[in-house]
Amino acid sequence: MRHNSLATKPHYPILDGLRGVASVLVIIFHVFETFTGGNRFIQIINHGYLAVDFFFLLSGFVVAYAYDDRWGKLTQWGFYKRRLIRLQPMVVMGSVIGAALFYFQVSPQAFPLIAGTPVWQVLLLMVVGATLIPVPISMDIRGWQEMHPLDGPAWSLFFEYIANILYAVIVRRFSKPLLSVFISLAALMMIGYLLFGPQGDLIGGWSLNGPGLFVGFTRVLYPFFAGVLLSRIGKLIHLKNAFWWCSLLIIIVLSIPRIGDEHSLWMNGIYDAACVILMFPLIVSIGAGGVLHTKRSERICKFLGDISYPLYITHYPLIYIYTAWVVNNKIPLGTEGMLVGLALVIASILLAYACLKFYDEPIRRWLTKKFGNA
């Protein structure tokens, strides 16, 4: 993420591009997920959910790189202000889009609560969602028990904010050995959940209840703070054509079919743990150590990086509509479903780009001018 006041530091454009690649894969993952009937074992782009854990690691790396050596001149409020200016405008937009498209998502089977939800309740949740404050299951208006029922993916921003607060309050003060102990404990927490938990994967974190919060914290603590440690260690891997190799690695990692079945959940748990604990730090090290040699690669990375966050935070209301259409009309995974799914991916990218150019960038420039550099 760019920070204007820190412009003297070298930038990592490849990491921006990789964030965009992962964001596009998230959309494709959600399109295919519509046809699974909730069966995670047959999901195509099966491990697309791990993109969130990759985002957490990227965020930790970039936050530490941008701010670790600035705390002598930077207050906690200054840090929070910069993070809010960077992230909050699109949280608001995601909530508004979710409310605007809510009644286009009516489906008695997929979303049983929508038809009976009054407009005032949708508007209330739009305002609450714009603050990123999670809502309890009792305030669900869809039937999926999401803490942000108008824009499901906002749950990961909720946990990212918590990680940012933990970093600013205490973890930034940790020495590298102490931080290593901290992330080792977080890794053990993740491994324990994956090997002995009820799912054998890291899917979850969007419900404001005990299991949902446990999964959310399990998902954010290791990758975010492993990213912080990775930035501090600074051991980058220099590889020719790093962006293309890293993109290929991300596509492969997220597309691997489910490993094992319902009787061997631990097998997929080992895979998820290996991806988050080993593979993602490797990819970030290669991406941060790589160099873009052509203008074309620079443009691709810039475009993907610019739309990555708007794409992630605004695409899901379209997925809700697509899900309702598929379920209501019993659309199979065939030509019609795929063509409309492809149209959804394109529409999501166009929506994200429009939000970026006509809302996010202008509002962040205004906020930066009014409240300080971000």
Which pLDDT score, from 0 to 100, does residue 10 have? 75
What DSSP letter does each residue of 104-122 carry, written as one string?
GG-BTTTBTTSTT--HHHH
Left if phi > 0, otherwise alpha if psi is -120 to 50, otherwise beta: which for 97?
alpha
What pLDDT does 59 receive? 98
Residue extents of the structural domains in the chain: 4-367
C-alpha–C-alpha distance, residues 204 and 135, integer Å: 16
d(CA 350, CA 27): 13
CA 57 to chain CA centroid, Å, is 10
Give me the torsion for CA of 63, 21, 33, 336, rounded to 10°. 150
* 3-state SS class at 343: helix
pTM equals: 0.95
Question: What is the pLDDT, as a whole number, of residue 207?
Answer: 97
CA dist 65 and 96 (Å) reads: 32
* pLDDT tens for the 374 residues of the chain, in order: 334 444 457 789 999 999 999 999 999 999 999 999 989 999 999 999 999 999 999 999 999 999 999 999 999 999 999 999 999 999 999 999 999 999 999 999 999 999 999 999 999 999 999 999 999 999 999 999 999 999 999 999 999 999 999 999 999 999 999 999 999 999 999 999 999 999 999 999 999 999 999 999 999 999 999 999 999 999 899 999 999 999 999 999 999 999 999 999 999 999 999 999 999 999 999 999 999 989 999 999 999 999 999 999 999 999 999 999 999 999 999 999 999 999 999 999 999 999 999 999 999 999 999 987 54
